[in-house]
Each structure stands twice: as structure tokens, then as C-alpha cells.
Structure 1
Amino acid sequence: MTHKVNILTETGADVNFVSLALAARIKDFRRQQKLTLDELSRRASVSKGMLVEIEKGAANPSIAILCKISAAMGVSVADIVDVAGKPVVHLVAQKDIPVLWTGEQGGTARLLAGNSGPDMVELWRWEMHPGELFASSGHPAGTFELLHVEEGVLTLQVDSTTLIVQKGCSAVARTDRPHHYTNADSSLLVFTMTVAERH
């Protein structure tokens, strides 16, 4: 199953526009930090070819690849997709909230908001249809997630530990290791998630 960045048109953001904006931001961050493609490739453990395609706006990188690139550049994913506010108070309009994952049945993961910089905190809203799964090989060291299930049942697995999170319940997980979220139930799963990195 692939998990590609897919900015849906109903968010108000045009797919091609967002891909090009994403490409420009990564290129700008790299130039500001004087990182060559080779060096960024090495730091992020992402192939140089993939980075070239991303900077051309021709690639559709997964959440995992965006996490690796942002961590290697010392910024947050929210910085890269531009939902990180610079002023003390900043509104993120509904049309500017990107969808960074779509499931095979139409589920979505939206990055609602996030702060700037390497000590990142992000707020996500996930909708997963029955049978959908999202897997991650793990985020940077010190990453943890706070999850709250609004509808349905979340099956959360971290390493070899599986947790069933019912509607109205919350969970805390260290996610700097392999983990995945699954909707193994027969109804829609909706949960909110805060992701934070402590350095």
C-alpha cells in the first residue's frame, strides 16, 4: 500500500500548485542552510534522485519522506507545507489545511497546524475507512504522539505492542520506532493526533 502526499481539491488547494510550492520551500530551505543535494540525501537517507524529483515538483513524496527531509534540515513538516505560523497568533484557513495522506478507501490525514523549527509540535486529524492502514518506520529520536479517538476504534501498534483505542479514549505513544495505525473495525475511524519531538 502506498501513502503519498495528496493535496485534495476540496481543501481549496490545487495539487499542482501545492507540489510546486513544496518543491520551492525545500529548495529554499536547502539553499538557506547551504546544503547540497548530496549532503541532504546523506542526512535524510533519501535518494538524491528522489530529492531532484521533489525539487522539480515531479515527485509525490510520502509523509515518511517529508519527515526525513524536514528532520535533516532542522525544520518541521509544518514549515515545509506552510501551516506553521510566523506571528504570535496565526490563523490557518480551512482551504490552506493540506491533506498529506489518502487511504485506498478514501481516508485522509490532514496536518491542521504546526509550529516552526526543529522542536516541532503538529496537530493532525485522521479519518480512516474500514481496512485502511498507515505504517511508519519511525520518526526522529524523542518523537511521541498523543491520540484521541472521536469515532470508531483505532488499532495502534508500536513495535510488538498493540493497543485498541475505543471512541472517547486517548493514548500516548513513543513513535521514534516502527508503528502503524489501522481501522480494523467496520465503521469510520476519526482521531486527532498531536506529534511532538523533544531534543
Structure 2
Amino acid sequence: MERVDLELLTQSLARNVRHWRTERSLTLDALAARAGVSRGMLIQIEQARTNPSIGTVVKIGDALGVSITTLLDYAQQGPAVRIVPAEQAVRLWHTAAGSYSRLLAGTEAPGPLEMWDWQLMPGDSSASDPHPVGTVELLHVTVGELTLTIDGTEFHVPAGSSASFEASTPHTYSNDGDTPMAMVMAVSVPPSR
């Protein structure tokens, strides 16, 4: 990602976390407790002084009841239809081997809804902390085979197959094969109460 893009995302994240925290009438302490991140980290994020990990952004989004797309949105206001050009899809996680996840699009109806593009190279994996109760993930493997581990139980999802699951327990996406794995995934988070 180019430096300009990273600075733009850092500024957008700062503005949007402040906005949604205020919208939800949460203090820094309350959001920190709800998200499981330190108050100091939230202050740095809201002042655009840090580029937090994807895990931290996910926790803050979950605690605020908004999608990662909303937290990283750099458009002040958009039309009813939002087109995200391929070059603007945000790569949030990657490895030296070539694995990655890209946030393709998202919306807030009725709660956060996100669409992801994932690639895992052989031997790579990505673990996810539990999401709020009611969060559902839907995925479709287009290439290779995904090893999906949910709360310690492994499931094998080959190319052409789909899976859905409640994502409120620890889960891991792995490629135990010897060829790349690709999938498209949608994540639906219940609205914040």
C-alpha cells in the first residue's frame, strides 16, 4: 500500500472512530473496555498517531457495531450506490509468502456487512478472535481447499464449496495444501445495541 493511502486511512480511521464513539455516547474508557483495547491505543488512533493492526480495528468496529469499511471510509458522504474500484480495495493483512485478505465492500444495513477477498498460500493461516454473538460468516472457496477451524474443530472446504458459521468463537483459516487457496467471504455483524 502506498504511503499516501496509509496516511489517508489513518486519518479516516481517526475521524470515523471519534464520530461513531460520539454517536454511540461512549467514553474512551467505555469503548476501550468494550473493545478490549487500551485507552492509550484509542487515543493514538483518534489522534491519527498510529496504524493499528487489523485485529485492533476489527475489535473497535465490533464494539461500535460498525463495519471495518465504515471505520476506514475516507469519503465524507457517498451516493446510494457506492462503487469501489479494484485499486481501492483495502488490503488489511498479508504475508511474505503472498497470502492476503482484501476488504472489497461493506455497508451498514441493518448491521455491518462486509465482503472480503482472501488468498492463502500453502502453509499460511490467519486466526480470528471471536466476534460479537450473532455474527455470521459466509464463504465460498474458488481455488484450492480451505481448512476452517472453529472452536478447535477442523472442517475442509474444497474449491466450489461454501460454508457458513456463527463467528462468536475463535476461528482460523488455513491452507494445509500445497497449492494456493482463494475464497470470497461475507461477514454480517448484528447492529450495536
For normalisation by structure 2, the TM-score amounts to: 0.88
Query: Match of 1:89?
Result: 81
Structure 1 distance, partners of 2:74, 2:9, is: 12
CA RMSD of aligned residues (A): 2.3
Matched AA of 1:90: R
Q: Percent identity?
A: 39
- 8 Å CA contact 2:105–2:116 kept in 1: the answer is yes
Shift of the alpha carbon at 1:53? 2.0
C-alpha contact 1:103 1:133 (8 A) present in aligned 2: no
- The alpha carbon displacement at 1:166 in A equals 0.9
Q: Give the total of aligned pairs.
A: 190
In the other structure, the counterpart of 1:188 is: 180
Provide Cα deviations, 1:65-87, integer angstroms capped at 9, x if missing partner.
Answer: 22221222232222111289854
Deviation at 1:149, TM superposition (A): 0.8
Residue matched to 1:5: none
* 2:36 is the counterpart of 1:19: no
> Aligned partners of 1:141, 1:132: CA distance in 2, in Å?
27
Match for residue 119 of structure 2?
Answer: 127
Instruction: Tell me how far 1:195 sits from its aligned partner.
Output: 0.7
Q: Partners in 2 of 1:115 and 1:143 — Cα distance?
A: 15
Q: What is the CA–CA distance in structure 2 between the aligned matches of 1:13 and 1:102, rounded to whole Å?
A: 19
* Cross-structure match for 1:3: none
- Using structure 1 for the length normalisation, give the TM-score: 0.85
Runs of 4+ displaced beyond 6 Å: none
Output the amino acid matched with 1:59. Answer: T
Q: How does 1:103-182 map to 2 (within 5 A)?
A: 103-116=95-108, 119-182=111-174
**Shift of the alpha carbon at 1:115?**
0.7
Aligned-partner SS, 2:58: helix
Measured after TM superposition, the shift of residue 49 of structure 1 is: 1.4
Unpaired segments ≥5 residues, structure 1: 1-7
Which amino acid is 1:136 matched to?
S
| CA separation of 1:118 and 1:23: change in aligned 2, threshold 3 A | farther
Gapped regions of structure 2 (runs ≥ 5): none
Report the Cα distance in structure 2 between the residues aligned to 1:30 and 1:147, rounded to whole angstroms: 30
The CA distance in 1 between the partners of 2:17 and 2:157, in whole Å, is 36
Please state if 1:41 is matched with 2:32.
yes
CA–CA distance in structure 2, aligned partners of residues 118 and 139 of structure 1: 17
1:55 paired residue number:
46
